Amino acid sequence: MIIFAAHFLILFIMNYKLFLVLCFILWGVPFKISAQEWHFGLKSGFAIGTFNSEIGPWGEDALYYPYSQSARLGIGGGVFVNYAFNEYIGFQTELLYSPKGSTFERENPNIISINSSGGGANEKDRVKYCLDYIELPILLDVPLSRRFAVKVGFAPALNMISRMKINYWEKSNSKLKDEPPFNQINGDIVDEEYEKIDLDIAESFIVSSVLEVNYRFNNQYLFLNYYQSLTDVYEVAEMNGFNMKTKNYVVSLGYAIFF
């Protein structure tokens, strides 16, 4: 029921002016309530993000060597403010740097990684869709026991970076080719490089629903959360013949500390 109520409220927050008013109200509340009721802290964690649709990278050879979707890995974090109304329910708002996006990859039949024993495996071509946000989660905090708690709410986010990172291979000047086992192998030694391409088609503002589980100890807690964007992350439905109409979900695992 709480999730449905949050989704209903999001329809109003999509109005930019109402969103600003809500932010000022929320951040103004601490000045009207005893400062002893409030707790401030820091949180950080590893983020694993994936698109809901396989938009894919483009290229004629993608038909013959198709890409598969995998996660974009990142590290996010920021500050938070928590207020417990009573032992049964509380409120938390956060200001975070939040990496999202997705990765597409495939094996490259022409590039092989050789280990010191002479064994090898194909390297991978990668296309990373990188979307970075400043995010303001607004959450209800529901303690389930002395150790466990659940948070649920929504997270408006402002896009700061939207780009693609595409790896490529360049001939290396390394002298490893003269050393065993590399001197017994035909071919060149190459280095992996990345080309960064600005992808200025991201929606400047998105909203995600949030579900988080906490394990608390002393003045700290571990968290596992799930973010699902309620709006598309790109403002165009198609680019160069590829579907760009997709949402994003992110799973994060991390650590927080109260001051």
Is 95 domain-assigned? yes
Is 5 domain-assigned? no
Mean pLDDT of 72-99: 94
Is 114 domain-assigned? yes
Residues 225 and 253: their CA atoms lie apart, in Å, by 7
CA proximity to 55, closest of 96, 101, 90: 101
The pLDDT value recorded for residue 184 is 63
Is 87 domain-assigned? yes
Model confidence pLDDT, tens digit, residues 216-242: 998 999 999 999 999 999 999 887 777
**Per-residue confidence band for 60, with pLDDT thresholds at 50, 70 and 90:** low
CA proximity to 214, closest of 252, 167, 174: 252
Element (H, E) at 37: none
List CB contacts of 23: < 8 A, sequence separation 6 or more.
136
Q: Which amino acid is at 209?
A: S
Is 140 domain-assigned? yes
Q: For the chain, first and last CA: distance in Å?
A: 32
Q: What domain range is 90 assigned to?
A: 39-258
DSSP 71: P
Where residue 103 sits, what CATH number does that domain have? 2.40.160.20
Where b means 16+ CB within 10 Å and e means fewer, 102-127 reads bbbbbeeeebeebeeeeeeeebbbbb
Mean pLDDT of the chain: 81
The pLDDT value recorded for residue 6 is 46
Residue 154 neighbours by CB distance under 10 Å = 20
The pLDDT value recorded for residue 131 is 97
Residue 91 neighbours by CB distance under 10 Å = 18
Mean pLDDT of 126-154: 95
Higher model confidence: residue 143 or residue 174?
143
Residue 99 neighbours by CB distance under 10 Å = 20
Orientation angle between helical segments 2-13 and 16-28, nearest 10 degrees = 120
Give the tokens for residue 93: 């708002």
Where b means 16+ CB within 10 Å and e means fewer, 231-242 reads ebbbeeeeeeee
For residue 181, whether the previous peptide bond is cis, meaning omega lies within 30 degrees of 0, is yes
CA proximity to 26, closest of 149, 133, 139: 139
Residues 101 and 202: their CA atoms lie apart, in Å, by 11
Model confidence pLDDT, tens digit, residues 174-190: 666 666 666 666 667 77
Do residues 141 and 91 lie in contact, with contact meaning Cβ atoms separated by under 8 Å? yes
Is 19 domain-assigned? no
Residues 184 and 118: their CA atoms lie apart, in Å, by 9
**Residue 12, pLDDT above cutoff 50:** no
Domain count for the chain, please give it: 1
For the chain, strand residue ranges (E) read: 38-51, 68-70, 72-84, 90-114, 120-135, 138-143, 148-171, 190-198, 205-217, 220-229, 238-239, 242-243, 248-258
Is 21 domain-assigned? no
Tell me the percentage of the chain whose pLDDT exceeds 90. 50
**Per-residue confidence band for 243, with pLDDT thresholds at 50, 70 and 90:** confident
Is 76 domain-assigned? yes
